[in-house]
Amino acid sequence: MQKQPPLSSAVSIDGVGVQFRTKRADVTALDNVTVDVREREFVSIVGPSGCGKSTLLKLVAGLVRPTSGSITLRGEPVTSPRSDIGFVFQKAALLEWRTVRRNITLQGEMRRMPKAEIARRTAELIEMTGLAGFEDAMPHELSGGMQQRVSLCRALLHQPPVLLMDEPFGALDALTREQMNSELHRIWQETRTTVLLVTHSVAEAVYLSERVLVMSRRPGRVLEVLPVELPDRNDYSKAMASAEFGARTARIRELLGARTAHD
Partner 1 sequence: MTHLISDGETATGRDQDGVTAVRGRRRSIGTVLARWASDGWRPLLALLFLLFIWWLITAIELAPPYLVPSPQETWRTIVENPGYLWDNTVVTAYETLAAFVLSVVFGLLAAVAMVYSRTVEKTAYPLLVLAQVVPKIALAPLFVVWLGFGLTPKILIALLIAFFPVVVSGYVGLRSIDPEMLDLASTMGAGPIQKFLRFRFPASLPHLFSGLKVAVTLAVTGAVVGEFVGSNKGLGNVILEANGNVNTALLFAALIVLSALGVVLFLLVELIERLVMPWHTTVREASVTTTS
In the bound complex, what is the minimum distance in angstroms from residue 74's beta carbon to partner 1? 14
C-beta contacts of 36-39 below 8 A and 24+ residues apart: 36/9, 36/11, 36/12, 37/9, 37/10, 37/11, 37/12, 37/194, 37/196, 38/4, 38/6, 38/7, 38/8, 38/9, 38/10, 38/194, 39/7, 39/8, 39/9, 39/10, 39/161, 39/194
Q: Which residue spans within 22-131 are E strands per DSSP?
A: 26-38, 42-46, 68-73, 76-77, 85-88
Q: What is the rounded distance in angstroms from the CA atom of residue 65 to the CA atom of residue 40?
A: 25
- Which one of residues 138, 171, 203, 225 is an interface residue with partner 1 (CB under 8 A)? 138
Task: Write the binding mask 47 to 86 for partner 1: x where contact by CB under 8 A, - elsewhere.
Answer: -----------x--xxx-----------------xxx-xx
- Site for partner 1 contains 142 (CB under 8 A): yes
Cβ distance to partner 1 smaller for residue 54 or 216: 54
- Per CB under 8 A, 117 contacts partner 1: no
Rounded CA gap, 61 and 249, in Å? 28
134 counts as binding partner 1 under rule CB under 8 A: yes
Closest contact distance (angstroms) between CB of 174 and partner 1 is 13
Q: Which is nearer to partner 1, 175 or 243 (CB)?
A: 175
Helix, strand, or coil (residue 183): helix
Residue 95 binds partner 1 (CB under 8 A) = yes
Q: Quick check: 145 binds partner 1 (CB under 8 A)? A: yes
Is residue 106 near partner 1 by the rule CB under 8 A? yes
Question: Binding partner 1 by CB under 8 A: which of 27, 176, 217, 251?
Answer: 176
Task: List the one residue out of 218, 125, 209, 127 whose CA is nearest residue 165.
Answer: 209
Which residues form the interface with partner 1 (CB under 8 A)? Answer: 58, 61-63, 81-83, 85-87, 89, 91, 93, 95-97, 99, 106-107, 110-111, 132-134, 136-138, 140-143, 145-146, 176, 179
